[in-house]
Amino acid sequence: MKTLLATLFSIVALTLQAADLKVVVIGQSVDLVAELRTGSPANVTISHVTNRGSGDANLLREAADADAIIGNPTLALVQAAKQLKWVQITSAGVKPYLYPELVESDVVMTNAQTLSSAAIADHGFAMLLALTRNLNHFIPDRTNETWKGGNYGMVELEGMTALVIGTGGIGSNVARRAKGFGMRVIGVDPEEFPPRQSFDRMVFPDRLDTVIPEADAIFVCAPHTADSEGMLGAAQFELMKRGSYFIALSRGKLYDMGALVKALDSQHLAGAGVDVTDPEPLPSGHPLWKFDNAVITPHVATQGLLGGKLRLEIYKDNIARFAAGERLRNVVDMRKEY
């Protein structure tokens, strides 16, 4: 009897594995799709649609019998995909795509977490070093061909304390770089803490206010969730050490922009680097633009050579895993929002 059951289960598993699967790729380059098709399992058909508009008839038609979607789907697309089993989001952040139709379903969502973490961490330290070494003042002098000597109050990172809020892919990479600069590193994260070589100390978010005053540099690396939104408000900026630095790398809604402007205007902070803002894009005339000790970049920290290669790798690997009925990489807990 046990042998018969085992045989039946094997037949069912093989049947599922061999079933034809359709993967719709939206909003990606022709070259990337060509790479995905190369070496894909024989039972997988990859359909490419470049238009991501919710009203595009061709896209909705392609989605109707899709088993998986690679791209960032609209609600209309999700509703049209009646047999959807897997959706691969192209960014690390998933909050805009957490439709009730997905959250309450059996669809598996995966994201692009960690793919650009190294680039984002590099970007954060580029911002911090631009401020601590006063490069934000020297770089404009090149256009004027002006050589200005003097004491600019530059400081070194050695011996400083870095507070890393969010210790996932971005935060872990930030911490490794901080240790390389001789910094002490405190991490803040809601998850249980396995041994983390790059962190000297870990605390849960409910202890955030107790460690903010220790930080010489604060890195915002956490995902945007209902719990993390607004976690750095006016009270937290007031707790920051006078002369410290603020670096925002993940999502603009995690910190209070008005409080940041006030902290810079009062010279409570020595400087700030932001790749993410709220509102975004940062509009012309916004008060943050006026500070010469604010390094502002337009949400470009993810850019780099490594991320593209890793993105292709995980897409191909997940397609193969999906076709084989195996566990996918970078699975999102949609109820936790990351």
| pLDDT band at residue 18 using 50, 70 and 90 as cut-offs | low
How confident is the model over 159-177, as a mean pLDDT? Answer: 96
What order do you get walking across the sheet with 21-26 strand by strand? 44-49, 21-26, 68-70, 86-88, 108-110
**DSSP conformation class of 327:** P
> In this structure, which CATH number among 3.40.50.620, 3.40.50.300, 3.40.50.720, 3.90.79.10 belongs to the domain 117-296?
3.40.50.720
> In this structure, which CATH number among 3.40.50.720, 3.40.50.300, 3.40.50.1970, 3.40.50.2300 belongs to the domain 2-115+306-324?
3.40.50.720
pTM, entire model: 0.85
Per the structure block, which two tokens stand in for 94? 């998933």
Distance CA 158, CA 160 (A): 6
Per the structure block, which two tokens stand in for 8? 């039946």
Q: Respond yes or no on whether the N-terminal peptide bond of residue 96 is cis (omega within 30° of 0).
A: no
Residue-wise pLDDT for 60-81, tens only, equals 999 999 999 999 999 999 999 9
Break the chain into its structural domains and give their ranges. 2-115+306-324, 117-296
Checking if the pLDDT of 158 tops 80, the result is yes
